[in-house]
Amino acid sequence: MARYRKNKAMTFVELMVAMAISVIMMAATYYIAKSEFSAGQSQQEVMDALRTARLAIRYISNDIAAAGFMASPDLRIGPTGKPVDPDVCTVPMFPSGMRPVAVQLTRPDNSPYLGNYDHNIRPMSITLMGAYPSHLVFRTARINGKDIYLQNGPSVSFPTKTQFNLIFGTNHLLRIVNQNNKMLFFQITGRDYNAAKVTVKQSVPPASGVCGVAGFGRDLAVNAISFIRYRLRQRHDPNQPKIQNHYVLIREELNPFSNWAPVRTTVLPIADNAVDLQFYDFVFDKDSSGQDPDLTPFAWHPNPFQLPESVLMKGTSVPPIAAYLGTDPTKNVIFGPKDLRFLTVKLSIRTRDEDHEIDWSNAPMGMGPGNHRPIPYFDVDPKAHGLARVVSLLSKVELTNLAARNVK
């Protein structure tokens, strides 16, 4: 008689224990995989932000370095009623509010960051003047009152009609260099591509001493000048209407003859997810002779967010200007935009998404206010848990055109 073999099976308790171990192992594997994925995603977003910051700071540094190129560092009228720049004969009338200088700093009073989040976030805007429409230099065929006719023909490299209209826009200035290498600036009011003609608001004056234009004004150098501004602008995302802390670094042209209003068709987004834009470490040439450069760093006010001109322009005869300005009390020397030689620009860009594992309780902030302090995190959506990581890049920029002019 065959003996019956009883097959041994798992008990219910053993089955439950095996399932529990499996669940624990699966949870641990999932947690590790999720952590690795999140870390990889965060690292990728940081690298993307760094790449954006690197391209943007190169863009803005190039424009700062070009400030004053084929222009003047200062188109203001001085206390004597003559242009501040001795090489300038004629300037148009500019409306109040800003100043026609090569470099100008402002900080909007309605900055959305004031008093919110990191106290080191206080974005500035910078306005630059120079040959930004084009680096082309044209030659005059003749000048007739308000009409300046340019040389054009088979032997002349002339722009297309579209380029011509963009270069000589009605929000630009026309610079004419006369036979004595003196500069005359005029407001452009019109242009005619077929006639190779640019029309200005006031008639070009005839020669008088070293100023004005002699004869028919033939073969004089002509180029266009514009004002551009970099600033942070709030972006409204229709997909996330409740998020208000989304900003973009933009480059835009200003119309100095329309209360310095931005020209909407010229707005160019430079960097998305911008957090802060700062300028500091100004270096001036305090030599007044124009023969022996004497570079000195600007002594910053104890309040690091106080603009220089609002602190050090007391008691001077020069009208206050919204630009870099300082004084040396030992020599009673006034520094202006024309004397600026170096500055440092700092741009901060955040990651696109917030890291939900970081909050204000474990996010170290900068010690004390300062525009040079690090900004490690930024709160994109105050109602959501988590913070976006922030990367900052700095660039020291030399203003070579102002140094080359060396106006004193």
pLDDT in tens, 55-105: 999 999 999 999 999 999 989 887 788 888 899 999 998 887 678 889 888
List own/partner pairs for 190-196 with CB under 8 A and 24 or more apart.
Answer: 191/164, 191/165, 193/161, 193/164, 193/165, 195/149, 196/141, 196/149, 196/150, 196/151, 196/152, 196/158
* Residue listed under structure tokens 């208000």: 244
Which residues, other chains included, contact 356 with Cβ-Cβ below 8 Å and sequence gap of 6+?
384, 385, 386
149 or 328, greater pLDDT:
149
State yes or no: pLDDT of 318 exceeds 50: no
Q: What is the pLDDT of residue 327?
A: 41
| Weakest mean pLDDT among 34-43, 68-77, 124-133 | 34-43
State yes or no: pLDDT of 391 exceeds 60: yes
The CA distance from 141 to 220, in Å, is 8
Q: Is 118 helix (H, G, I), strand (E, B) or coil?
A: coil
Residues in the chain: 408
State yes or no: pLDDT of 27 exceeds 90: no
State yes or no: pLDDT of 323 exceeds 60: no
Q: Does the predicted TM-score (pTM) go above 0.75?
A: yes
Mean pLDDT over residues 31-39, rounded? 65
For residue 78 the two structure tokens come to 């001085």
**Which amino acid is present at 91?**
V
State yes or no: pLDDT of 404 exceeds 50: yes
State yes or no: pLDDT of 298 exceeds 90: no
316 or 142, greater pLDDT:
142
Contact 405, 338 (CB under 8 A): yes
Rounded to the nearest angstrom, the gap between the alpha carbon of residue 83 and the centroid of all alpha carbons in its chain is 27
For residue 214 the two structure tokens come to 């002699």
Contact 407, 74 (CB under 8 A): yes
The CA distance from 296 to 287, in Å, is 10
345 or 340, greater pLDDT:
345
341-376 pLDDT, tens digit each: 888 899 999 998 888 777 766 555 554 556 667 788
The CA distance from 241 to 374, in Å, is 29
Contact 235, 250 (CB under 8 A): no
